[in-house]
């Protein structure tokens, strides 16, 4: 059991996903079993996953997490945006663990120390973690598909390009030769009419599929397209590329209009796998 004083309690259980452990386990397992598993080519190095309520984006997320069945990772590094709290910099959770209805997950404190060694804008903090859902909603999926593993929760408070690049480069530096999975948590466009949203989202999807982090950051900063966790996506692409990944496979895309039938203002969801195919 993790020390209570430094344990981050669930913030959106009962809202974004069920708070009852048995109900949550059943829902996650059902989503995973409904996936028509896509065979990917190469070694899985990272995932891009949405973070809305499970009723909206759970199936899209499950398309990525289903790939983890039978795999083992020492640590999962999860990078998300800060929806509720602006801060200048990048916050690595300073506590010892995150709790979900399915149990407690320990923070990889050794890895945290390594990523903090160079200081600067990457700091140990609770900023962006206390009420944020972007990391939290990924955890029950991970708990159902992986065995024992630790987490390193990171929230980007300011998603300017230079911060995202710095984080990606620093992750690559500290993760070399480690058995770690990278996860970026992001939804795509928000509240545009259905067809407008699909066109905007396709810009991000093309950037991701082309493994072009520079173009992605440029499209985000120029407002040509949008993704609330676009910075985390870029950081994962940068880190994974420097660690030997050489491709991205799009696993699933849809938006909230495909779920609810209301196409007047939708939110986009993407699941993708970052892989090392080799030659």
Which fold, 4-276?
A: Protocatechuate 4,5-dioxygenase; Chain B (3.40.830)
For residue 89, the tally of other CB atoms under 10 A from its CB is 17
Mean pLDDT taken over the chain? 96
pLDDT tens digit sequence for 141-166: 999 999 899 999 999 999 999 999 99
Residue 45: closest CA among 140, 183, 154: 183
Specify the pTM: 0.96
Query: Which range, of 106-110, 116-120, 140-144, averages the lowest pLDDT?
Result: 116-120
247-253 mean pLDDT: 97
For residue 200, the tally of other CB atoms under 10 A from its CB is 20
* SS3 readout for 143-178: HHHCCCCEEEEEEECCCCHHHHHHHHHHHHHHHCCC
């Amino acid at each position: 059991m993790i020390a209570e004083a430094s344990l981050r309690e669930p913030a959106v259980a009962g809202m974004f996903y069920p708070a009852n452990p048995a109900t949550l386990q059943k829902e996650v397992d059902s989503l995973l079993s409904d996936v028509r598993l896509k065979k990917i080519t190469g070694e899985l190095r990272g995932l891009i996953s949405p973070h809305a309520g499970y009723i909206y984006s759970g199936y899209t997320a499950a398309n990525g997490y289903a790939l983890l069945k039978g795999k083992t990772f020492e640590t999962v590094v999860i990078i998300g945006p800060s929806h509720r709290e602006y801060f200048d910099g990048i916050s690595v959770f300073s506590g010892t663990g995150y709790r979900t209805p399915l149990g407690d997950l320990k923070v990889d404190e050794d890895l945290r120390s390594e990523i903090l060694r160079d200081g600067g804008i990457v700091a140990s903090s609770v900023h962006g973690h206390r009420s944020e859902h972007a990391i939290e909603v990924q955890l029950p999926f991970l708990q159902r598909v992986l065995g024992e593993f630790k987490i390193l929760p990171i929230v980007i408070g300011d998603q300017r390009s230079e911060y995202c690049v710095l984080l990606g480069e620093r992750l690559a530096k500290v993760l070399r030769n480690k058995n770690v999975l990278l996860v970026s948590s992001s939804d795509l466009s928000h509240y545009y009419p259905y067809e407008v949203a699909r066109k905007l989202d396709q810009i991000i999807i093309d950037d991701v599929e082309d493994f072009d982090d520079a173009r992605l950051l440029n499209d985000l900063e120029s407002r040509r397209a949008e993704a609330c966790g676009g910075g985390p996506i870029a950081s994962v692409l940068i880190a994974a590329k420097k660690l030997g990944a050489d491709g991205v496979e799009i696993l699933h895309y849809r938006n909230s209009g495909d779920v609810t039938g209301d196409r007047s203002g939708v939110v986009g969801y993407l699941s993708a796998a970052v892989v090392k195919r080799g030659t």
